[in-house]
Amino acid sequence: MIDNWLQNPESMSTEAVEQLPRLIAQYPYCAAYRMLYSIALANTHSIELGRQLQNAACALPDRTQLFLLVNNGEHAWIELMRQLEQQRRDENSTTCDDDDFLLIDQFLSQQHLPGIDIESQIAAVATDSPLDALAERPDLPSGSDADDDLIVSGDANDGIDQDSLIDQFLMADKDGKLLVPKADVPIENVPTPDPELIREKAFLTESLAKLYVKQHKFEQALTIFSQLNLQYSKKSGNFADQIRYLEKVISLQKELQKASESKKINKTNNTKK
């Protein structure tokens, strides 16, 4: 019976599905029994095939038969893989040779699969330069009148034109003409900000607070973080952690200062005595 299954595995049916698990339990390291069991499950279209393939993949020394089983015995793929591997070994090279692609093309031509002419696709899409691609877009301003007509919009739908705009900017910079967008408000009508207000806001920044921490000016840093905690509610959690840390450091500093002062007083009293 086993000999018949080995010679004609396609003839296995439910009888083999029932008997082979017992043989596998009796001889767990026999790869032939595991492979026959996988074929029997495939012949009977059993739902246990997936689980058995996972177990057999760990136990079989050669998974080629499993590959053939899953791919319905497409030996041409295996033969192609063996030819490529043998050719790589003979040439002892890590680079891919043109003969590899020739073997693949031969195999695909035998399979009658639809192909795509890659070279024609590339020639249809490729352009000579970024300016040629820009010339095909009449909605974008040209380099001559770009100084007056180019207005960069912040709309999300304009993201497609970013590459063309960047190329146009670089070409204008190369020619000595930078693209300057229009200003909605005249320069003379722009109100001058109050210097005192700028200076006051500049001091209330997180970067300045961190600088104070590095300089061991913890009280100034605590003041800035407290004001930032009130102004920016979204980062209040982060600021609250910084505030708690600084409060502990300041309290510890005060305790150390008191201890040092008490030591000095004790020393002076001892010297007087």
Average pLDDT, the chain: 68
Flag whether pLDDT at 249 surpasses 60.
Answer: yes
Label residue 164 by pLDDT band (50, 70, 90). Answer: low
* Whole-model pTM over 0.95: no
Q: pLDDT confidence of 195, banded at 50, 70, 90?
A: low
How large is the average pLDDT for residues 176-192? 49
Give the span between the Cα atoms of 22 and 60, in whole angstroms.
18
Reply yes or no on whether the pLDDT at 40 is more than 80.
yes
Among 51-60, 107-116, 143-152, whose mean pLDDT is lowest? 143-152
pLDDT over 80 (residue 129) = no
% pLDDT > 90, the chain: 0
Q: Report the pLDDT averaged over residues 22-35.
A: 88
Asked if the model's pLDDT at residue 218 lies above 80, the reply is: yes
* pLDDT tier for residue 180 given thresholds of 50, 70 and 90: very low
pLDDT band of 33, cuts 50, 70, 90: confident
Indicate if the pLDDT at residue 179 is higher than 80.
no
The pLDDT value recorded for residue 108 is: 55
- Give the start-to-end residue ranges of the domains of the chain: 2-70, 75-111, 130-174, 195-272
